[in-house]
Amino acid sequence: MQLVLATNNSDKIKEMKHLLDDLPVTIMTRDDFLEFPDIEETGDTLEKNAALKASGIAEFCDLPALADDTGLLVDALDGAPGVYSSRYAGENVTYEDNNRKLLEELQGIPTEMRTARFRCVITIDWDNGEEDTVVGEVEGLIAESITPGGGFGYDPLFYHPASGKTFSEMSLDEKNAISHRGLALQKVRDVIINRLNNARR
């Protein structure tokens, strides 16, 4: 089986491959193609955007494709930035731009009211009219300042109370074990394994 990761985000590719590389599947990325489109996220939900990206890349590559759409939902902001998480501060912005805007929006909000969750929706389009969709979520708090370390996106601000760390302070293995994308990818692994097993019968 070949499976294309339907994203141009190198950070997402790294996380996805880390959890899927040991499967008996050839994981392909944008680097395996001479051309690779950037599918526009025109949906008003994470589910619609994941499906749009998966189907767009599956059709373009004529192969099964896996896409995710992820949102940070902050309770004090009525669920914002949500579906607009990657472009919260505007189009073509940096991770730091989005983090700064989030801190500005939450200025003066006490710690106990800075509750939030990361939600990741992953869709696999099997390029034959079939789709599988899974969801991963993790609860946390928005820190009052940006923490140093690795990670990407809102990782420097997303504090996971049970771990006592923000996502940016975690190793990739630590983060994948409890993160929204890690939990969704664990479900994706089950979907892929079941499909492979059924194909052998």
CA angle 163, 8, 5 (to 5 degrees): 75
Domain tally for the chain? 1
What's the domain range around 38? 2-200
| pLDDT at position 130 | 93
> How many residues belong to the chain?
201
Q: What value does the mean pLDDT of the chain take?
A: 94
> In this structure, which amino acid lies at residue 57?
I
| 1 burial level (CB within 10 Å; 0-12, 13-18, 19+) | middle
- Nearest CA-CA partner of 136 in 92, 171, 187, 78: 187
Q: What is the CATH number of the domain that holds 147?
A: 3.90.950.10
Q: Which amino acid is at 3?
A: L
- The pLDDT score that the predictor gives to residue 128 is 87
Active site residues: 69
pLDDT-derived band of residue 149, with 50, 70 and 90 as boundaries? confident
> What pLDDT is attached to residue 136?
97
51-80: pLDDT as tens digits: 999 999 999 999 999 999 999 999 999 999
Please, what is the Cα angle at 11 between 143 and 3, to 5 degrees? 135
Whether pLDDT at 200 is above 90: no
